[in-house]
Amino acid sequence: MASGSGIRVRRVYGPPEDDDGTRVLVDRLWPRGISEQQAAVDLWAKDVTPSDELRTWYHEDRTGDRYDAFADRYRAELRDPAHTEAVEGLLALLREGGAVTLVTSVKDVPASHVPVLVAHLEDALDHR
């Protein structure tokens, strides 16, 4: 899966592909059952992931309209100064022009934090 800006998203459990470029793990927890070698990540960006509190809240009840509230709260976290350095690091990678692949262990990527992160990065790139 690739976004309009060329940000690729893959599950960490699949084999790395030649066109992945820099592989960035965007999960707070290390993926179960996978070694560092199998994951083949160049960077683990824990500080761009939802806080433990937000992640726990979202996973308590993933029914109804909770995703919209989760996405709003996560966007607020990404704008927080505590996340600025990590977000800027990812933006610097993207601005270098090489391929960047965000890897995650989540099963349902569209209902996860990843689309919110991708949209946040794309918005920041559009407003440089």
Q: pLDDT tens digits for 102-126?
A: 999 999 999 999 999 999 999 999 8
* DSSP 8-state assignment for residue 26: -
104 bridge partner residues: 11
Domain extents for the chain? 8-126
Closest CA to 70 of 56, 84, 82, 80: 56
pLDDT for the residue numbered 72: 95
Report pLDDT digits (tens) over 31-53. 999 999 999 999 999 999 999 99
What are the CA-CA distances from residue 17 to residues 7, 8, 10, 33, 55 (Å)? 14, 11, 10, 20, 29
Stronger pLDDT, 62 or 70, i.e. the higher one: 70
pLDDT for the residue numbered 64: 64
Q: Are 78 and 61 in contact (CB under 8 A)?
A: no
